[in-house]
Amino acid sequence: MPNDALNLGLLMFIPYRAMEDRVFDELAAAGYDDITRAQGRIFQRIAPGGSRLTDLARQSSVTKQTAGFLVDQLEAAGYVTRIPDPSDGRARLVVVAPRGAAAVARSAGVVAEVEREWTAHLGAERTAVLRELLTDLRAATDPYA
């Protein structure tokens, strides 16, 4: 299939997957080899103050049962913990635990490195335009932004 035949979604997914591979490779090398891509997709949707399981499920496009299973695994591995929701005593929030915060910090370094490489390839101006366009597209496609 020639490159011009690839749809926009695939053209965005391929670089995303390359970055995701680099992040997971680095995490594994640093001792965080017990987190899966499915867990990571739930994990990356946790809000700074914590998130309810139902919100994580909806934002990750999985069932509440699947989200619960993945959060259970993340909790068992020490990446997240659950705390009472201060706004509703019946609900619980999933929050990032210290091990999860350390993994996020390690991931952020890899993401920054990949972005520097992409900027070197595309040039600063084109990278800025790409970021602006993708940010605009996110506003139109991510109801949780």
Q: What is the pLDDT of residue 144?
A: 77
Residue 80, judged by CB atoms within 10 A of its CB (0-12, 13-18, 19+), counts as buried
The helix/strand/coil state of 139 is helix
Amino acid at 64: K
> What is the band of 3 on the pLDDT scale with cuts at 50, 70, 90?
low
pTM of structure: 0.85
Dist. CA 35–CA 77, nearest whole Å: 8
Q: What is the mean pLDDT of residues 22-43?
A: 95
> What is the band of 72 on the pLDDT scale with cuts at 50, 70, 90?
very high
Q: What is the mean pLDDT of residues 33-59?
A: 95
Q: What count of other Cβ atoms lies within 10 Å of the Cβ of residue 43?
A: 23
